[in-house]
Structure 1
Amino acid sequence: MNKTLIFDFGDVFINLDKEGAMNHALDIFKLKTLSEELIAFNSLYEQGLISTEEFIEFYLENFPDLDEDDVLYAWNCILKDFPEHRLDFIKNLAKENTYNLILLSNTNELHIDWIKERVSFYEDFKNCFHKFYLSHEIQLRKPDASIYNFVLKENKLNPGDCLFIDDTIENIEAAAKLGIHTWNINPKTEDISNLFTIKKEFF
Structure 2
Amino acid sequence: MAAKRILFLAGDYVEDYELMVPFQALAAVGHQCDVVAPEKAKGDQIRTAIHDFEGDQTYSEKRGHNFTLNASFADVDPASYDALLIPGGRAPEYIRLNPRVLEIVKHFADANKPIAAVCHGPQLLAAAGVLKGRKSSAYPACAPEVRLSGGEFVDVPIDGAYTDGNLVTAPAWPAHPAWIGQFLALLGTKITL
Same fold at TM > 0.5: no
TM-score, normalised to structure 2, is 0.39
Work out which structure has the larger RCO, using CA pairs closer than 8 Å and 6 or more positions apart in sequence: 1
Which structure carries more strand by proportion?
2
